A and B are shown apart, each in its own frame.
Chain A
Amino acid sequence: MFDTLSDRLSTVFRSLSGRGRLSRDDVETGMREVRLALLEADVNFKVARAFVDRVKERCLGADVLESLTPGQQIVKIVNDELVALLGGEQRRLRYQSQPPTVILLVGLQGSGKTTTCAKLALATRREGHRPLMVAADTHRPAAPEQLERLGKDNQIPVAMPDGKRKPPELCRRGLEEARRLNCDVVILDTAGRLQIDPVMIAELKQIRTRVTIHDTLLVVDAMTGQEAVNVARAFDEEVGVDGVVLTKLDGDARGGAALSMKEAIGKPIVYTGVGEKVSELEPFQPERMASRILGMGDVLTLVERAQAHIDQKQAEAAAQKLLSGRFTMDDWVEQMRQLRSMGPLEGILGMLPGGRQMVRQAGAAMPTEKDLSRLEAIVLSMTPQERSHPEVLKGSRRRRIALGSGTTVADVNRLLKGFDQMQTMMKALGGRGGVKGVRGRARMLRQLQGLDPSQLGLPVR
């Protein structure tokens, strides 16, 4: 996500930071580029203009240009302003001390309210709450059935319409149902309609008078263009919006909507939808998003994901082995499996600083999921003895392995060569004082960044 914006911004920054001195003209030109980058990323044109003006003012003021590293200072200013634009602090759901907490979802049709409803319910349950969903979209054909299905699949109770009652009444009854079932969070899924539709706005207002809403969340498709601001303003003016859920961020959305929301209505993004599965909803963290946009990686998210998917003890043991050079093929496959459980390789590399450049440079040489599976197949076609002592692998064994894994001898050769290279490199790395301490780690990071993925020894075609 946000790749286009990220790419264009890093081009601008490269040209700015490549020089020791910067003139006012350099800043002007650079900021024009930043503005175009934002516009191309669908950031609202007014927001883009205001943003660039703020950055420019800060760049030209204070002693930025006189400093020793003006380029880096400018990157920092842009980063700060991006964080501010994205909403500053992370915002959480407003759980009430007096349950139930009532959350109202509003938005255009097709923005993803019904899916978000289920995702949000699961998110609250992960935080230890008992959610109930109210199907109050009586407008779109089969919308309640969709919610009912999602509820059934995830064991979340759903208050269904009865074909007679109007949405405001359905919401009120949903609340009663929640009390009866002892649920402390109620999420209201309403009909999506254009923000200029008076009938829908009236319906939302009626819901608001009928039940006390604690959090009104506007669901916005991340791919929305210039229109995002108009939609958000209209909903905010008519029904009042407390926060935003940005959906479909797993595509190549350019981030315009994300960057325009706070500025347009002063309300932060609370959650982002990042996949088709109901578990794929993440709390929105402005700082992380900003560094991702600036191509500085998102190491924090990477670490969190690693913690969720990788067994710490196992990983440490593997690291020890790796550095001591006693790393076997089995360990390698295990590492690869754990790495893959964290998601696609490109995504993981993309979270490292400079990782995306690495991916891009590798281009077609970037190992695909298929390549990784093939690698695993090759190793699994070896006997345990072969795995711990790859030096015994001669011609006929290699032929057998190629046959067994459905690959060619050339693939097997490539893998063995790559494994050997990696072992040598890691031994060298471990030998020089290990990776303990800040310096060691920094050095390792540098060396890792200098790595070419196509040299990882994976059987790449």
Chain B
Amino acid sequence: MTEEAVPEPHREAWWRRMSGRLGRASAGFGALIRSTLLRRKLDDEFYDDLLEALIAADCGVATSEALLERLRARVRAEHIHEPERALLALKEEMLRVFATRDRRLRLDARPAVVVMVGVNGSGKTTTIGKLAHRLRGEGRSCLVAAADTFRAAAVDQMRIWAARSGADVVAHQPGGDPGAVVFDALQAAVARRSDCVLVDTAGRLHTKTNLMAELVKVRNVIRRVIPEAPHETLLVIEAPTGMNAIAQARVFHEALALTGIVLTKLDGTSKGGTVLAIEEELGVPVKLVGLGEGIDDLNVFDPGAYLDALFAGVGEAPQPE
């Protein structure tokens, strides 16, 4: 609807939003750490409770144990005695998992093709709507391929979102071939010289082999029109998902070579610790996070801000060396 470019204050606003909303997400974790761990000795019980806190944040048993292993080594090597410093060391270790990955969307090509995939109900259509709005705000023209031809009324939902952001939609009849929708959309994008093509796909559980094969087919159709596309293949995962997120990411990654993860619904109380496990195990970067239901609530993932929110209240006063 709005055509104006996104001004700088807007960007600042989301920072406040992110820490505000993540504050809620981290409440449990931070509170647990503050109430119990900060007043303790660094004994086995401390590590046990910390392990439980990490698992409660959905970081997963394997990743949590690996992190604590590294923490124990550091505590020994650096002669750390205070729980607070130990927790800060843990935070650094977690940041290291996230570090050194490029989280920017690769949208330099014209048209740049972005494909959204994910299990049912993870938020693909909504994320495309928000992303289209964001890209329009940056002055790019967007075309949406409504290739979710399976779910009832998915195309209607996509149309409403596209209308809100001022993107064009290419759609076929429900039950049609997603490959054909994508083919038409790409041809239209080339003809109209659109900057970006956003492809919405039907949700599918990663265990359905034939549906995964369908996605590969869609990808191949894209390549037939634009050989170097898709430029971004993003897996949409909702923050409340547990360890299953890793299984999802692994299977989608094997099939399509993901370029990034979108973590949605992070404005709830879930900690989304699975992203840590995904980045540690698969090395696929989290690029975007969904922080609410508004059209503006899609942001670039900032690991530092995420961990700050998770560890809120720890080490806020500078530590004496």
Q: Verify if B80 is at the interface (C-beta below 8 Å from A).
A: no
Q: Verify if B274 is at the interface (C-beta below 8 Å from A).
A: yes
A215 to B269, CA, bound (A): 26
A36: B residues at CB distance < 8 A: 61
Q: Verify if A250 is at the interface (C-beta below 8 Å from B).
A: yes
Residue-wise, chain B 194-223 has the 8 Å CB interface mask toward A (1 for contact) of 000000000001111000000000000000
Query: Which residue, of B150, B152, B293, has the highest number of chain A Cβ atoms within 10 A?
Result: B152
Contact yes or no, A40 B60, CB < 8 A: yes
Q: Verify if B84 is at the interface (C-beta below 8 Å from A).
A: no
Contact pick for A250, options B28, B52, B207, CB 8 Å: B207
* A side interface size, CB within 8 A: 47
B205: A residues at CB distance < 8 A: 248, 250-251
Contact yes or no, B242 A146, CB < 8 A: no
Q: Verify if A231 is at the interface (C-beta below 8 Å from B).
A: yes
Contact yes or no, B152 A196, CB < 8 A: no
Chain B nearest CB from A191 CB (Å) reads 10
Contact yes or no, B122 A149, CB < 8 A: no
B61: A residues at CB distance < 8 A: 36, 39-40
Contact yes or no, B247 A45, CB < 8 A: no
Q: Verify if B238 is at the interface (C-beta below 8 Å from A).
A: yes
B123: A residues at CB distance < 8 A: 109-110
Contact A194 to B265, CB < 8 A, known contacts A42-B244, A227-B270, A228-B240: yes
Contact A226 to B56, CB < 8 A, known contacts A142-B157, A248-B119: yes
4 closest pairs, A vs B, by CB? A225-B242, A110-B121, A42-B242, A149-B152
Contact yes or no, A251 B206, CB < 8 A: yes
Tell me the A109-148 residues at the B interface (CB within 8 Å): 109-112, 115, 140-143, 145-148
Chain A nearest CB from B31 CB (Å) reads 13
Could you write out 22 A-B pairs with CB less than 8 Å apart?
A42-B244, A108-B240, A110-B238, A110-B265, A115-B120, A141-B160, A141-B161, A142-B159, A143-B157, A146-B157, A150-B152, A196-B269, A221-B240, A224-B241, A226-B270, A227-B270, A231-B240, A231-B268, A250-B205, A250-B207, A252-B247, A253-B244
B208: A residues at CB distance < 8 A: 250
Q: Verify if A56 is at the interface (C-beta below 8 Å from B).
A: no
Contact pick for A196, options B24, B55, B247, CB 8 Å: B24
Q: Verify if B262 is at the interface (C-beta below 8 Å from A).
A: no
Residue-wise, chain A 149-179 has the 8 Å CB interface mask toward B (1 for contact) of 1100100000000000000000000000000
Contact pick for A146, options B28, B152, B238, B271, CB 8 Å: B152
A148 to B242, CA, bound (A): 32
Tell me the A265-316 residues at the B interface (CB within 8 Å): 276
Contact A45 to B156, CB < 8 A, known contacts A108-B240, A196-B24, A226-B242: no
A228 to B274, CA, bound (A): 14
Q: Verify if A6 is at the interface (C-beta below 8 Å from B).
A: no
A42: B residues at CB distance < 8 A: 58, 242-244
Residue-wise, chain A 165-203 has the 8 Å CB interface mask toward B (1 for contact) of 000000000000000000000000000011110000000
Contact yes or no, A221 B121, CB < 8 A: yes
Q: Verify if A359 is at the interface (C-beta below 8 Å from B).
A: no
Q: Verify if B151 is at the interface (C-beta below 8 Å from A).
A: yes
Chain A nearest CB from B250 CB (Å) reads 11
Query: Which residue, of B56, B159, B244, B267, has the highest number of chain A Cβ atoms within 10 A?
Result: B244
Contact yes or no, B151 A146, CB < 8 A: yes
A234 to B28, CA, bound (A): 14
Tell me the A81-127 residues at the B interface (CB within 8 Å): 108-112, 115
A41 to B28, CA, bound (A): 20
Binding site for B on A (CB under 8 A): 36, 39-42, 44-45, 108-112, 115, 140-143, 145-150, 153, 193-196, 221, 223-228, 230-231, 234, 248, 250-254, 256-257, 276
Q: Verify if B153 is at the interface (C-beta below 8 Å from A).
A: yes
A41 to B60, CA, bound (A): 9
A44 to B151, CA, bound (A): 32
Q: Verify if B86 is at the interface (C-beta below 8 Å from A).
A: no
Q: Verify if B143 is at the interface (C-beta below 8 Å from A).
A: no
A140: B residues at CB distance < 8 A: 157
B122: A residues at CB distance < 8 A: 110
Contact yes or no, A45 B207, CB < 8 A: no
Q: Verify if B57 is at the interface (C-beta below 8 Å from A).
A: yes
A226: B residues at CB distance < 8 A: 55-58, 242, 270-271
A195: B residues at CB distance < 8 A: 268-269
B243: A residues at CB distance < 8 A: 40-42, 225, 254, 256
A41: B residues at CB distance < 8 A: 243
Residue-wise, chain B 151-179 has the 8 Å CB interface mask toward A (1 for contact) of 11110110111000000000000100000
CB nearest neighbor in A for B241: A223
Contact yes or no, A194 B268, CB < 8 A: yes
- Excluding A143-B153, A150-B152, 7 further A-B contacts by CB distance (< 8 Å) are A40-B61, A146-B151, A146-B154, A153-B152, A225-B245, A248-B119, A257-B242
A115: B residues at CB distance < 8 A: 120
Contact A112 to B121, CB < 8 A, known contacts A45-B55, A142-B157, A227-B268: yes
Contact yes or no, B242 A256, CB < 8 A: yes
A221 to B174, CA, bound (A): 25
CB nearest neighbor in B for A113: B121
B24: A residues at CB distance < 8 A: 196
Contact yes or no, B242 A196, CB < 8 A: no
B239: A residues at CB distance < 8 A: 227
Query: Which residue, of B28, B119, B156, B268, has the highest number of chain A Cβ atoms within 10 A?
Result: B268
A260 to B254, CA, bound (A): 31
A153 to B152, CA, bound (A): 10
Contact yes or no, A230 B242, CB < 8 A: no
A143: B residues at CB distance < 8 A: 153, 157
Contact yes or no, B56 A254, CB < 8 A: no
Contact yes or no, B207 A251, CB < 8 A: yes
Tell me the B108-147 residues at the A interface (CB within 8 Å): 119-123
CB nearest neighbor in A for B237: A223
B269: A residues at CB distance < 8 A: 194-196, 227, 230-231, 234
